[in-house]
Structure 1
């Protein structure tokens, strides 16, 4: 189980993307956090069983109804991830 650091670009701020992501990650039993960045991207760290992380990544590419996801940059996260999933 490795954590992932994500930078999500597109129309992802002001459309409920973070709240939607918190609900979906919680439903999948994942840990991590999500926050808006000043450059308009959403940043997140996601940790959990690989099938659940992959399921979330599939959902993140579509996003909620009002969002438009143009890109997701993904790298591995080496720092510890606390349990639960929350907004920062």
Structure 2
């Protein structure tokens, strides 16, 4: 198991990015949350099996059709024990 916090920068708000991330998390069995940040970035807090999480991270870096990812900052953090993945408001 591994947990990461990602800050995704670029055109990631108003393009369906959070819903895309939520769907990819569901497909990969990832738990945690995604939320918009006030500065225009998106934060993803995700934990799961290392292999599935690696796939999920690559998908987050790709984003949906209308998004444009400029940077993705990733930090490993201690496991939390999320029960599901959700969009945090």
Q: What does residue 69 of structure 1 align with?
A: 69
Normalising by structure 1, we get a TM-score of 0.95
User: Quick check: 1:33–1:46 contact (8 Å CA) kept in 2?
Assistant: yes
Q: What does residue 60 of structure 2 align with?
A: 60
User: Please, what is the CA RMSD of the aligned residues?
Assistant: 1.0
Helix, strand or coil: the match of 1:39? coil
User: Quick check: 2:7–2:74 contact (8 Å CA) kept in 1?
Assistant: yes
User: Quick check: 2:47–2:79 contact (8 Å CA) kept in 1?
Assistant: no
Distance 1:37 1:48 in 2: 23
Normalising by structure 2, we get a TM-score of 0.94
Runs of 4+ in 1 over 4 A off after TM superposition: none
Aligned length: 88
